């Protein structure tokens, strides 16, 4: 039986350690590459940008230098970190599947494979539709996908280690799969001056095909193409709303 928990925070215990765990990620370089792609594919001047599933706001910390930005995420813990980092940016707590901000943007992004958290194809279509309806005519939607069903390998052992003054973390997991979901039971061992604690988080992400992504874009009225290189090697789906 596949367990499906929708509309809940996935980083309920690890949000405070998220940036430390992903210290290796070059958000500045990715934001600069993203700017180039937005300029290349948008059919209108881009002044406003919405980052869906913005996490701790690391991309927006750089994108705010070029656009009027807003962030959206389901996880209140991640948003608390984002608001502390960028207090001048508006961050909204909402689900990417059915959010309605009552405004439109020149560009909408959903990065770092967060789209996988929608889990099912119907919810993928709902999420893409929700993002697309927030686009101005000629605006661009950019989504960084998660792994597809043929590229997810079961039984791979993963480990991430953090060694900072006053903070040591080991996060370990073994990749699993249930039907069309990738499954990771992350085990965290966290040491601070207050002591050592262990906790687990289960992360389930949908394994979607390229056809399922492109159909979701097309069904929302967007012209879509796939950039094979993308920002991190996982590619990017880029959709433009007709003028």
Q: Which two tokens stand for residue 83?
A: 């608001």
pLDDT value of residue 9: 61
Q: Are 38 and 107 in contact (CB under 8 A)?
A: yes
pLDDT for 10: 78
Domains by residue range for the chain, with CATH: 15-148+208-240 (3.40.50.150), 157-205 (2.20.130.10)
The mean pLDDT values, 10 residues at a time, for the chain of 243 residues are 47 94 97 97 97 98 98 97 98 97 98 98 98 98 98 97 98 98 98 97 97 98 97 96 96
pLDDT at 8: 60
Confirm if 79 and 93 have CB atoms less than 8 A apart.
yes
The confidence score (pLDDT) of residue 62 equals: 98
SS in 3 state form for 132-149? HCCEEEEEEEEECCCCCC
So what's the pLDDT on residue 1?
27
**What is the pTM for the complete model shown?**
0.95
What 3-state DSSP class applies to 226? strand
Tokens for 210? 């390229």
Helix %, strand %, coil % for the chain, to 5?
25, 35, 40
Count of Cβ atoms closer than 10 Å to residue 74 Cβ? 22
Q: How far apart are the first and last CA of the chain?
A: 45
């Amino acid at each position: 039986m596949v367990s499906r928990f929708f509309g809940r925070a996935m980083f309920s215990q690890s949000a405070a350690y998220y940036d430390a765990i992903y210290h290796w990620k070059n958000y500045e370089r990715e934001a600069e590459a993203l700017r180039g792609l937005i300029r290349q594919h948008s059919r209108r001047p881009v002044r406003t940008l919405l980052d869906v599933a913005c996490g701790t706001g690391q991309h927006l910390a750089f994108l705010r230098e070029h656009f009027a930005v807003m962030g959206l995420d389901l996880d209140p813990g991640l948003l608390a970190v984002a608001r502390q980092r960028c207090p001048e940016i508006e961050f909204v707590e909402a689900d990417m599947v059915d959010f309605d901000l009552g405004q439109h943007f020149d560009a909408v992004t959903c990065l770092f494979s967060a789209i996988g958290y929608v889990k099912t194809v119907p919810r993928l279509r709902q999420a893409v539709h929700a993002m697309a309806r927030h686009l101005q005519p000629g605006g661009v939607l950019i989504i960084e996908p998660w792994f597809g069903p043929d590229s997810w390998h079961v039984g791979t052992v993963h480990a991430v280690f953090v060694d900072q003054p006053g903070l040591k973390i080991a996060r370990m997991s073994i990749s699993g799969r249930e039907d069309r979901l990738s499954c990771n039971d992350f085990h965290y061992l966290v040491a601070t001056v207050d002591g050592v604690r262990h906790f687990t988080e289960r992360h389930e992400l949908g394994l979607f095909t390229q056809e399922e992504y492109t159909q979701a874009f097309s069904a929302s009225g967007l012209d879509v193409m796939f950039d094979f290189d993308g920002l991190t090697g996982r590619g990017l789906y880029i959709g433009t709303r007709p003028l």
